[in-house]
Amino acid sequence: MARPLRIEYPGAYYHIMNRGLSRRDIFLEDKGREQFLDLLSDITRLWKIEIYAYCLMDNHYHLLLQTSKGGLARAMRHLDGIYTQRFNRSQHRDGPLFRGRYKAILIDAEEYFLSVVRYIHQNPVMAGVVSDMGRYRWSSHRGYLYQSERPQWLNTRSVLSRFGRLREYREFMHSEMEKEVVDFYKGPYQRPILGDRGFVEWVKERLGDRAKVEEEKPESRRVFALGVEQIAQVTAKVYGRQLEELRRKRRGKENEARSMAMYMCRTLGGHKHSEIGRVLGLEKTSSVSSACLRMKARVGLEKKTARTARKIEAKLQKSQGRT
């Protein structure tokens, strides 16, 4: 069997998964789970790993992490290797514990960061273990809800800073996942990258470079080299609206126009959610992210919406040609 693709560079975000050999349990008692969490503390300290979410199920685990200096492979050898040794010692056995090397999905954090956190936290509910994720002890969700249960090494700031209040975080975690994300994970084989074509090309161009996901996307990704306000103005015009109308929070056609503007700013301009939100009157980057994903799905499914997107794109191309 071919080894899974490994894409490593400083600043990369990954959804890490591994499962027990033949789907056997890898956690048999709470002591083992606590030892695994101690090892997570080790890799944050030794390899400067940032961990944003985790979930320990009976026969597998999920992590969302960032490698600030690279070194994912070494950190994971420590995590899986030391845990296997301790598990075998406690159970008086030998041999492999996991089915193979861990799976590492490279994440376009600007687009899917919060969606992956939600996917990880909803895992016990999807598996039928609990009906409320807040009642599951072995996931980072409780660390977000209760400071007393938050490990010191768990980075909650990056997630919570995207919400105004804890209640908004909780509502997002309980909300329905985007179809695009569900489809990505439900197949028998996941692609090694969760991101759109632009992100994939960006990664290919920079393999081996000291790239950082959190930095501004390079100008080569900004297809038309237009700003958020310019794209939003053209979108508003296509919908027969003024830009100020898009900034108002209303239901109906105005709301669709704003969602389309946000989607076009992401796909055509490569702009950050925070930048889009500032121009279009949304404080929460999570709201911008959700709107972009919903509109992306609509463009793929609805002919009328797709025609509107193409019309906006054509007008932007024309305006760019005049500059």
CATH number at residue 17: 3.30.70.1290
Indicate whether 282 and 171 sit together in one domain.
Answer: no
CB environment 114-145: b (16+ within 10 A), e (fewer):
bbbbbbbbbbbbeeeeeeebbebebbbbbbbb
Of 179, 206, 233, the residue at which a domain comes to its end is 206
CB within 8 Å of 120: residues ≥ 6 apart? 15, 53, 54, 55, 62, 63, 64, 139, 140
Mean pLDDT, to the nearest integer, of 80-90? 96
Q: Cα separation of 270 and 218, whole Å?
A: 9
Predicted pLDDT of residue 214: 32
- For the whole prediction, is pTM greater than 0.85? no
CATH number of the domain that 291 lies in? 1.10.1750.10
Together in a domain, 201 and 250: no
Give residue 132's Cα distance to chain centre: 22
What is the rounded CA–CA span in Å between residue 210 and residue 11? 8
Model confidence pLDDT, tens digit, residues 252-292: 544 789 999 999 888 777 778 888 888 888 878 888 888 88
In the DSSP assignment, the letter for residue 23 is G
The whole domain housing 285 covers: 219-322
Q: Domain end: 147, 173, 206, which one?
A: 206
d(CA 180, CA 115): 10
Query: How many domains does the structure of the chain reveal?
Result: 2
State whether 17 and 52 are in the same domain.
Answer: yes
Residues 170 and 263 in one domain: no
35 and 176 housed in the same domain? yes
pLDDT confidence of residue 81:
94
Average pLDDT, the chain: 86
pLDDT band at residue 17 under the 50/70/90 scheme:
very high
Length of the chain: 323
Please indicate, yes or no, if residue 3 is contained in any of the structural domains. no
Q: Choose between 208 and 23: higher pLDDT.
A: 23
